[in-house]
A and B are shown apart, each in its own frame.
Chain A
């Protein structure tokens, strides 16, 4: 057999095996979306926990493989029921984005718990299966490949029989078709949801364990990518479509496998996100759906509760700013100033998120992409073109505004929570491009020796200098945003957020104002990212990750959507509080996740109220 043909067959087997795992994950997401209309971001965490439970059973308790699958199924099933309880049931009457954000909070908590219990380091997961490989016509197939294929096919058949011939399966399908009608007919919708979550979690957990066996390793951060890839596969097949998800998973696996063979391993994660965005924009109902458009519902894409916001008079805001400016004269502790500096820089990002998400209603989960663009723009301008820092900083803001807006442009036609997913994907794509565009970004090595921030030629390296510099940038950013919000623009953005169809009926060109919102937001975020890069003096594709995006969104929700003061208060609270309690720094994501869940559940309007 010629070499290229053998490679082709090997990659096909690889792709189908990995695709099987994606399909298992995607089917779970499809089940949950079907009955609960929820995109479950905690699904990746369940997958990761499944892998860890499997690892404990096999390597620590030396259990046989069959029993291990049983334990994984039971634990993950219970976990799924818990997620339904916290993430969905109490939030059924909130904005559609609320349960989605709650599951993000849950995933933070679960990921951090696993890190605390098992350490953040990867654990080796020796495969208990015999290592013999079957040779069929020159193509070699391992035992694990066969096991994964058998489990994938087996689960497919069981699921089909379950949905078609059992009472709870009927109830599940009825709920997916019409929740209210099912409830009228006496279906206990909460129990159906719980069953769907349990089933989905079992599939996800088994998928995670299989991937642990396949790659012989488990690690806590495997959850996020797995969740997103399962989601991409699910979207490819149609969000609530179970057979579609299976095919979507296999297609994604094959695309990745061939893609890696053609372009190299660092491209692996790019394909899923490109597919994600392409499907969202071109066929939001998936490959197999006849409907071309997403259902036209009157939706609010963001998270605005009717409330009376707490407003501070102008002199109050000025007084707070003056106190912050004078602080270094009274508190000399450099560590404390550093923490506050981080708070100011994240406060800028929170301002930028509250502008698009709070004021204009376009939930952004991709703000880290803007930070990365700003940081790389300024770093390259200073390192390669030797621009002075001040000029590079401003240019970074402008470049981020233009580039960021162009990147988000395809998502303008999306509504509600699809915007959140698209921006998440776009943020990921930015980092993947940075990783792979070696000539420009120095790839995986990142950029080093960024010059420190300067102001009119004076180098700012001491903690209090950096503190003032970042604080002044925050204040300037806030002033810029305040000018925009109190002009007719602010009113126009809020009208789009409240009801885009009515807004358009009154002559508002939606694309123009979404572009303005993203441009202004990216401008502020880009400057913050650029300053942060020069402060660290080193950046790479992992300096600003989706975790940052989600953390900042949590800050905004904590302070109150669209509320500028709230954004800064949220940033200070979530940056400073984990530092105040000694030892809590290690558990910070646990704290962030809990804060997110609690706010969504008990005070959706945020501490200061949404505006």
Chain B
């Protein structure tokens, strides 16, 4: 059974179909990439898959359960973590605290589904600091530090620095560390290498590959197609809100519709212009 199943998902913004009847499935341990030109509906799709936006119609089934209608925080407690296209770190929180917020859904005081039960257990834990709470916080802190240490010297020396003081690339790293702190079942990465130089991109590629090797299921939006081709089990191509192609990277690379979507005209691969296009894509 697929970990995530998306059926006929649509989002209509006052007459504009940002996502139009998209269906696909992601199996446990796979890395699936979503590509497509700007405005194709990739980020809207991510917003739907993480509860930030509600679909007009369609189904999102995660581990056999429908997630339609749940608020975004419930998506997180189901084990879906995401990063944001433009980076949304908590500027005035330290790197460590940013990552600890990622572990929020795992805290015991948060688990209570009763609204008042949750309030009461949060207050109790905060005011009286029972030993269990202290131990939990310590354990979370250790996990957070371990996750941060995976980025090596990039973040560890900056553990207590506020996130606003970090470089752009480091903020992206903090976002990924924050997502990992949730111990997600599914990780959604929205352009993780945007704004990174080639060295940093290569580093990120190696990092994501490592995550994949450890068995993490990843859904990736990325414009750097060499990265997509190296990481993905299969690739979904979107244009104008619709899924126009899906398949393994080597097939997608030569798909005419894909080339057309990117370049906006029909060209045969054996013609010079299209060859150039193919180079751009690959």
Interface set of A (CB-CB < 8 Å, partner B): 298, 304, 306, 480, 483-484, 487-489, 491-492, 494-495, 498-499, 501-512, 515-516, 519, 610-611
Residue in chain A with minimal CB distance to B112: A512
Can you name 16 extra interface pairs (CB under 8 A) apart from A501-B52, A512-B122?
A: A298-B88, A480-B127, A487-B126, A488-B107, A489-B126, A491-B100, A502-B90, A504-B73, A505-B75, A505-B81, A505-B82, A506-B101, A506-B178, A509-B71, A511-B115, A515-B119
Q: Is the interface of B mostly helix, strand, loop or mixed?
A: helix
B interface residues, Cβ below 8 angstroms from A: 50-52, 71-73, 75-77, 81-82, 84, 88-93, 97, 100-102, 104-105, 107, 109-110, 115, 118-119, 122-123, 125-127, 129, 133, 137, 162, 164-165, 178, 182
Q: Report A-chain residues with C-beta under 8 Å of the C-beta of B84.
A: 502, 505
Q: B50–A512 contact, CB under 8 A?
A: no
Expressed in whole angstroms, the Cα–Cα distance for A561 and B90 within the complex equals 16
- Can you identify 29 A-B contacts, CB atoms within 8 angstroms? A306-B91, A480-B127, A484-B127, A487-B127, A488-B109, A488-B125, A488-B137, A489-B122, A489-B126, A491-B97, A492-B101, A495-B90, A498-B90, A498-B91, A498-B93, A504-B71, A504-B73, A505-B73, A505-B75, A505-B84, A506-B178, A507-B76, A507-B77, A507-B110, A508-B73, A508-B104, A509-B71, A511-B115, A512-B122
CB-CB under 8 A from A501, the residues of chain B are: 52, 72, 88
Measured between alpha carbons, how far is A51 from B137 in the docked complex, in Å? Answer: 61
- What are the residues of chain B within 8 A of A506 when measuring CB–CB? 73, 76, 81, 101-102, 104-105, 178, 182
A587 to B129, CA, bound (A): 47
- List the B residue with the shortest CB-CB distance to A487: B126
The prevalent SS among residues of A at the interface is: helix
Q: In whole angstroms, what is the CA distance A501 to B122 when docked?
A: 21
A489 to B105, CA, bound (A): 13
Q: Least Cβ distance of B129 to chain A in Å?
A: 7
Chain A residues near B165 (CB, 8 Å)?
306
A505 with B93: CB separation less than 8 A? no
Question: CA of A512 to CA of B111 in the docked complex: distance in angstroms?
Answer: 12
Complex Cα–Cα for A489 and B91 (A): 17
Residue contact B91 to A505, C-beta cutoff 8 Å: no
A499 and B126 contacting across the interface, CB-CB below 8 Å: no
Question: Which of chain B's residues have a CB closer than 8 A to the CB of A499?
Answer: 88-90
A487, A494, A510, A610: the one within 8 Å of B93 (CB): A494
| B118–chain A nearest beta-carbon distance, Å | 5
Which of A480, A492, A504, A506 is the most central at the interface, judged by chain B CB atoms within 10 Å of its CB? Answer: A506
**Are B115 and A504 in contact, with the CB atoms below 8 A?**
no
Contacts of B109 in A (CB 8 A): 488
Per the bound structure, the CA–CA distance linking A511 and B129 in Å amounts to 23
Is B104's CB under 8 angstroms from A512's CB?
A: no
Known: A480-B127, A492-B101. A498 touches B110 (CB 8 A): no
Q: How far is the CA of A512 from the CA of B105 in the complex (A)?
A: 13
Q: Does B126 contact A494, Cβ atoms closer than 8 Å?
A: no
Residue numbers in A under 8 Å from B105 (CB-CB): 506-507
Are B72 and A504 within 8 A (Cβ)?
A: yes
Are the CB atoms of A484 and B126 closer together than 8 Å? yes
B93–A491 touching, CB < 8 Å: yes
| CB of B115 to closest CB in A, whole Å | 6
Cα–Cα distance between A491 and B115 once the two chains are bound (Å):
20
Nearest first, the 9 closest Cβ-Cβ pairs linking A and B are A507-B105, A507-B76, A487-B126, A498-B90, A502-B88, A504-B72, A495-B101, A306-B164, A489-B126
Instruction: Give chain B residues whose Cβ lies under 8 Å from the Cβ of A503.
Output: 90, 101
Q: Is the CB of A505 within 8 A of B76?
A: yes
Q: Are B126 and A488 in contact (CB under 8 A)?
A: yes
A19 to B51, CA, bound (A): 43
Residue pair A505, B50 in contact (C-beta under 8 Å): yes
CA distance A298 to B84 in the complex (A): 12
**Which residue of the partner chain A has the closest CB to B93?**
A494
| CB-based contact A498/B92 at 8 Å | yes
What B residues does A510 contact at CB under 8 A? Answer: 73
